[in-house]
Amino acid sequence: MDGLMERFDAFIFDWDGTIQSLRTILMINEALKSIGRDTKYALKGGGRHRRNYSDLNLKRLIEIEEVDNSVMSYVLDAVLWVSRPKLRNDVSETLKYISSKRKKVVVFSNANRRRLLKEVKLLGISKYIDVIVSARDLRAPKPNPSGLNTAIRISGVRKSRCIYIGDMVTDIMTARSAKIASCAIAGGFDRYDTLRKEHPNYLYHSMEEFLRRGLGKRG
pLDDT digits (tens, 9 = 90+) for 14-24: 999 999 997 76
Q: What is the pTM of this model?
A: 0.79
Report pLDDT for 201. Answer: 98
Segments forming the whole domain that contains residue 210: 4-21+86-214
**Ramachandran class of 177: left when φ > 0, alpha when ψ lies in -120 to 50, beta otherwise:** alpha
Concatenate the DSSP letters of all residues of 85-129 into one string.
--BPTTHHHHHHHHHHTT-EEEEEESS-HHHHHHHHHHHT-GGG-
In a domain, 188, yes or no: yes
Q: Let me know whether 50 and 147 are in one domain.
A: no
Number of domains in the chain: 2
| Higher pLDDT, residue 141 or 215 | 215
What's the whole-number mean pLDDT along residues 102-113? 94
Residue 42 has pLDDT above 60, yes or no: no
Q: Let me know whether 52 and 137 are in one domain.
A: no
Confidence band of 50 (pLDDT split at 50, 70, 90)? very low
Report pLDDT for 213. Answer: 97
Q: Let me know whether 133 and 206 are in one domain.
A: yes
What is the rounded (10 degree) CA torsion for 98, 202, 7, 116? -40
- Where is the domain boundary, 80, 103, 123? 80
- Which residues make Cβ contacts (< 8 Å) with residue 105, sequence separation at least 6? 11, 13, 95, 98, 99, 128, 129, 130, 131
CATH number at residue 116: 3.40.50.1000
Q: Which amino acid is at 118?
A: K
Residue 105 has pLDDT above 90, yes or no: yes
Q: CB–CB of 128/103 below 8 Å?
A: no
Q: Let me know whether 105 and 64 are in one domain.
A: no
Residue 181 has pLDDT above 80, yes or no: yes
Q: Let me know whether 129 and 196 are in one domain.
A: yes
Report pLDDT for 70. Answer: 53
Q: Could you read off the pLDDT of 116-172 as tens digits, one per residue?
A: 998 899 899 999 999 999 998 888 889 999 999 999 999 999 999 999 999 999 999
Q: Let me know whether 8 and 90 are in one domain.
A: yes
- Where is the domain boundary, 80, 98, 119? 80
Q: Let me know whether 56 and 110 are in one domain.
A: no
Q: Let me know whether 152 and 92 are in one domain.
A: yes
In a domain, 198, yes or no: yes
Q: CB–CB of 104/157 below 8 Å?
A: yes
Q: Let me know whether 65 and 123 are in one domain.
A: no
Q: Let me know whether 67 and 95 are in one domain.
A: no
Q: Let me know whether 136 and 163 are in one domain.
A: yes
- Percent of the chain residues past pLDDT 70, beyond the cut: 73
In a domain, 219, yes or no: no
Give the count of beta carbons closer than 10 Å to the beta carbon of residue 62: 18
What's the whole-number mean pLDDT along residues 213-218? 95
